[in-house]
Amino acid sequence: MKANQNEQPNGVKEIARRAKVSIATVDRVIHNRSGVSAKTRTRIEKIIQELNYQPNIIASRLASRKVLNFAILIPSVSAETAFWAAPLAGIQQAEDEIRQMGIKVDRYFFDLNSKASFVKQTKQILKSKIDGILLAPSFIEESIAFTDALKEKNIPYVFINSDIPNRESLCYIGPDLFHSGYLSAHVINYCIQPRDKILVVNVSHEIENHHHLLRKEEGFRSYFKDNEKRIVKIDIRQTNDRSVEKKVAEALEETPNIKAIFVTNSRVANVAHYLENKGKKGMLLVGYDFLPENIAYLQKSVIDFLICQKPQEQGYRGIMALYQHLVMAAPVEKVSFMPIDIITRENHAYYKN
Amino acid sequence: MKANQNEQPNGVKEIARRAKVSIATVDRVIHNRSGVSAKTRTRIEKIIQELNYQPNIIASRLASRKVLNFAILIPSVSAETAFWAAPLAGIQQAEDEIRQMGIKVDRYFFDLNSKASFVKQTKQILKSKIDGILLAPSFIEESIAFTDALKEKNIPYVFINSDIPNRESLCYIGPDLFHSGYLSAHVINYCIQPRDKILVVNVSHEIENHHHLLRKEEGFRSYFKDNEKRIVKIDIRQTNDRSVEKKVAEALEETPNIKAIFVTNSRVANVAHYLENKGKKGMLLVGYDFLPENIAYLQKSVIDFLICQKPQEQGYRGIMALYQHLVMAAPVEKVSFMPIDIITRENHAYYKN
DNA sequence: CTGAAAGCGCTTACAG
DNA sequence: CTGAAAGCGCTTACAG
C-alpha cells in the first residue's frame, strides 16, 4: 500500500509535523507524561485542540501490550444466593467482549453470611495488582474501609446492586429499591379491592443490616400511606421452609381478609411453597427476582408477579463502566438505575435477565 | 521493546514458521483466497487447527483500512411514526461504538404510507456499494423482491420490528406479536371482573396489510378463547382524533359494561384523549409503545399500562448483528425476540427504551 | 503459486 | 527535554 495516500489526516504524525517535534513527544503530551518543556507542551496541546484529535483506541491497544486487570468482588453463588449467578454471567459476557482489548477479570467471592470472608477478600485484592474493581458493597462499614484503601491507591471502583452514596465511586449500577417497592404496591393495588388487606413479608437472617429490604418496604408503604391499616407486616429471620410456613400461617389466621402477599426479596418461593401446599387459591403473590424456583411458581400461577432488575445487565454494565473509564477515557454516568421489570407467567420466557 | 519476548505465541507468524511458508500465504488460507496449492493449503489448515488460532480482530481492522458500509431502511419519523425515533437512536449508538472499527452506516428512510417510497429507496440501495443492511420489511411483497436482489449480490440483511419468516435473513430482531397480545390479555384479566367486557381497538390506515396488528389481536383473543363474548372489537381506519372519538363513543354506548380498552398499537393516545375529555374514570386502558404522548397519559393515569418492546435495542442489536457477522465472523442467533415489558406510571421513569 | 517488504496509528525502550 | 527506531499482529500491493 502506498504511503501518504489515504493516511489518517489527524493522527499523531500530523500533530508532530505541525508542532515540529517527534511523535514520541506528542505521545508524552497526549498521555500527560512528564519530560516535556512547558512551551512545547502548550504548542502541542493547541494543535491537538485545533485538529480535534481523537486517538485511535484500536491502534493504541495493539501497540501497548499492557494488560489491564479488573477485579470483581461479589457474593458467591449458593442455593440461598442464586441471584448472583446472573451478575456473574453478565461479567463473563463483558469479559468475552473486551478480552481482545487486553482486559482480564479476576474473580473474588465472599460469603454473604460472613463479614470476615468479605474482609479477607478485600485484603487479597489490595495485595494484587489491579486497575479497577467492581464490587457489591453488602457490608457497609467494611466496604467503606476497603474503598478508602482503593482511593489511596487511585484505583477506581464501581458499586453494583446496592449503593453507598457519597463514596466517590466511579458509578453505581443497580436498582432504585424504594421505587421498586412503590411499583409493587401499584401493581397489587390494581388487582385487589379497597377493603382487602396486604401482608408484607421480609425473609432474611439479618434484617437489621439489610437496608435494601427495608428500603423496598418503605417504598411499598409510601404508596399506601393514606391507608396504612391495610398493611400487615412480618419479619422472618429463620429462612427455612418450616419457619416461613408457620409465620405466614399465623399471620393469615390473625388477620382475615388478606388478599395479597408482598415478599420483599427472592424468598417469595418459600411463601409460594406454603400456599401451594395448603391449596390456598386466590391469594395474589408478588415477590422478587428471576430465579428458576420462582419462575416455576410463576408458571403454576402460584406467584403472580415477579419484580426483576436485570441482574445480568448489572454485571455487564459494571465491567463496561470500568472499561469506558480506563480504556476509552470516556465519561461514565454516576448513577445508572436498572429498569423495574414486571414479570408474569406470560412474558417471563422473553425476559433476558 | 524487545522482540520475541512476549510475542503472541499463536499468530500468523508462528503458523508461517511451522508451515515453512510466508505469512502472506498463511493470510491467503485464513481468508480463503485463491492462489495457494492444495497441498500447502491443507498443511496450513492443519496447523491452524492445532494451534486453535484466533485472529486478532483489532490488528486485522487496523491493517486492512477497508471501510464497511452498512445501510438501514426504516420508516421516516413523523408525528404518526414517532416510534421509529427509538430504533434510529439505537442504530446511532451502535454506529458510535463500532465506528473505530471502520464501519459506516448509510441511512435510508421511506414513508410508511407509501409503498412507492419504499421501492424507490430499495433501488437506490441496490445501486450503492453496501456490505450489509438492516431493514423494516413493512411491505411484504416489496421486501421479498428486495431481499431476492440482495441474495443475488450476497449481501446479508437483518429484519427488524416485524419478520418475514423463511426469507434467509441473517436474523430477525423484534417482538413476538402474538405473545404481546396474549400478555396484554393476562394483565387486563387481573384488573377487571369476570363479568366485565373488553373493547379491542385497531387504529390504522390499512388494517388489511398490517399483519402485525392482527397478530396482536389474535394473541389477545386466544387468551380469552373460552369467553369470546367478552370481547368487542372495532377497526378505525381514519386515524384523526375526531374519528377515533366517534367510533369509541359508539362502541361504548352499544355495549354497556365495557371496563377495559385494549388498543393494539401506539395510537392508544387517541383513545386516552377521548376518555380524558369525557371525564370517563375507572376505564382500564392498555396500549403500546413508549412515546412521549403515551407517557404523558400514563402519568395522568388515563393510560394504565403500556406494552413496550425495547425499540432502541432493536436498532442497536440489528446493527451489531451485522457487525458480528461481517467483522467478527461470529455466528448470529436466527431469531431474537425482545422482552415484553409492562410499563406503568410507577416504572416508566426507569425504562430504557 | 509464493514471498519480501511496507504499512495501519500508536507505544515503548533506549540513547543522547 | 527530545527523537530515531522497532514493534504490536495483521493486510496489501508488488514482483517473481
Nearest-5° Cα angle at B323, A97 to A66: 35
Q: Taking CB atoms and an 8 Å cutoff, what residues of chain A touch B349? A: 179
Looking at domain A177-308, its CATH class is alpha beta
As a whole number of angstroms, the distance between CA B187 and CA B284 comes to: 10
CATH topology of domain A12-55: 434 Repressor (Amino-terminal Domain) (1.10.260)
A347 touches chain B (CB under 8 A): yes
As annotated, the residues of chain A forming the CATH 1.10.260.40 domain(s) are 12-55
Q: Please give the torsion angle defined by the CA atoms of residues B2, B6, B11 and B16, in that order, rounded to the nearest 10 degrees.
A: 60
Establish whether the CB of A40 is closer than 7 Å to any nucleic acid atom in strand D. Answer: yes
Summary mean pLDDT of chain B: 90
Residues 6+ apart with CB under 8 A from A167: A137, A143, A144, A147, A159
CA of B6 to C1' of D6 (A): 14
Residues 6+ apart with CB under 8 A from B225: none
**Cell match 401506539: residue?**
B266
Q: Which whole-number Å values give the CA distances from B49 to B10, B43, B167, in the listed order?
A: 11, 10, 34
B8 in helix, strand or coil?
A: coil
User: Quick one: cell of A130?
Assistant: 489491579
Q: Taking CB atoms and an 8 Å cutoff, what residues of chain A touch B61? A: 58
CA atoms within 13 A on the CB side of B218: 10
**Is the predicted pLDDT of residue B5 greater than 60, yes or no?**
no
Using 50, 70 and 90 to split pLDDT, how confident is the model at B178?
Answer: very high
| Mean pLDDT value across residues B35-42 | 89
pLDDT recorded at residue A353: 62
Question: Which residue from A211, A135, A152, A131 is spatially nearest to A177, judged by alpha carbons?
Answer: A211
A313 touches chain B (CB under 8 A): no
Q: Convert the pLDDT of each residue in B296-343 to its tens digit.
A: 999 999 999 999 999 999 999 999 999 989 988 788 899 999 999 999
Beta bridge partners of B109: B74
Please answer yes or no on whether A341 and B344 come within 8 Å at the CB atom.
no
Please answer yes or no on whether A340 and B350 come within 8 Å at the CB atom.
yes
pLDDT recorded at residue B57: 87
CATH topology of domain B68-175+311-337: Rossmann fold (3.40.50)
- Phi-psi domain of A61 (left: phi exceeds 0; alpha: psi -120 through 50; beta: other): alpha
Distance from CA of A53 to the nearest CA of B (A): 14
Residue scoring higher pLDDT (B92 or A5): B92
Which residue places its CA closest to the C1' of nucleotide C5? Answer: A1
Establish whether the CB of A63 is closer than 7 Å to any nucleic acid atom in strand D. Answer: yes
pLDDT recorded at residue B210: 61
**Is the predicted pLDDT of residue B238 greater than 90, yes or no?**
no
Q: Convert the pLDDT of each residue in B132-173 to its tens digit.
A: 999 999 888 999 999 999 999 999 999 999 899 889 999 999
As annotated, the residues of chain A forming the CATH 3.40.50.2300 domain(s) are 68-175+311-338, 177-308
Beta bridge partners of A109: A74
What does each of the 353 residues of chain A score in pLDDT, given as a tens digit? 333 344 467 889 999 989 999 999 999 999 988 888 888 999 999 999 988 998 988 899 899 878 899 999 999 998 778 899 999 999 999 998 888 788 999 999 999 888 999 999 999 999 998 999 999 998 889 999 999 999 999 999 999 998 998 899 999 999 999 999 999 999 999 999 999 999 999 988 777 666 778 889 999 999 999 988 999 999 998 878 888 999 999 999 999 899 999 999 999 999 999 999 988 888 999 999 999 999 999 999 999 999 999 999 999 999 999 998 998 878 899 999 999 999 999 999 999 76
pLDDT recorded at residue A3: 37
Q: Which whole-number Å values give the CA distances from A172 to A158, A159, A265, B298, in the listed order?
A: 6, 5, 20, 28
A65 touches chain B (CB under 8 A): yes
Residues 6+ apart with CB under 8 A from A122: A73, A142, A145, A146, A149
pLDDT recorded at residue A8: 62
As annotated, the residues of chain B forming the CATH 3.40.50.2300 domain(s) are 68-175+311-337, 177-308
User: Residues A121, A73: contact at Cβ < 8 Å?
Assistant: yes
Using CB atoms within 10 Å of the CB of residue B167, give its burial: 0 to 12 exposed, 13 to 18 middle, 19+ buried. middle
Residues 6+ apart with CB under 8 A from A136: A73, A74, A75, A84, A87, A159, A160, A161, A162
Q: Which whole-number Å values give the CA distances from A216 to A182, A239, A248, B31, B206, in the listed order?
A: 7, 19, 19, 56, 46
User: Residues A304, A295: contact at Cβ < 8 Å?
Assistant: no
A340 touches chain B (CB under 8 A): yes
Residue scoring higher pLDDT (B241 or A258): A258
What homologous superfamily is domain A68-175+311-338 in, according to CATH? Response regulator (3.40.50.2300)
Phi, psi of B69 (to 5 degrees): -110, 115
Q: What is the DSSP letter of B123?
A: H
As a whole number of angstroms, the distance between CA A105 and CA B350 comes to: 29
- Mean pLDDT is lowest, of A81-90, A98-107, B191-200, B206-215, for B206-215
Using 50, 70 and 90 to split pLDDT, how confident is the model at B180?
Answer: very high
Phi, psi of A102 (to 5 degrees): 80, 35
The footprint of strand C (CB < 7 Å) covers A 1-4, 7-8, 11-13, 23-24, 27, 30-31, 53, 55-56, 59-60, 62-66; B 1-2, 20-25, 28, 34-41, 59, 62-63, 65
Following DSSP, what letter does each residue of A292-332 receive, concatenated? HHHHHHHHTTSS-EEEE--HHHHHHHHHHHHHHHHTS----
pLDDT recorded at residue B353: 62
pLDDT recorded at residue A4: 38
**Cell match 458499586: residue?**
A159
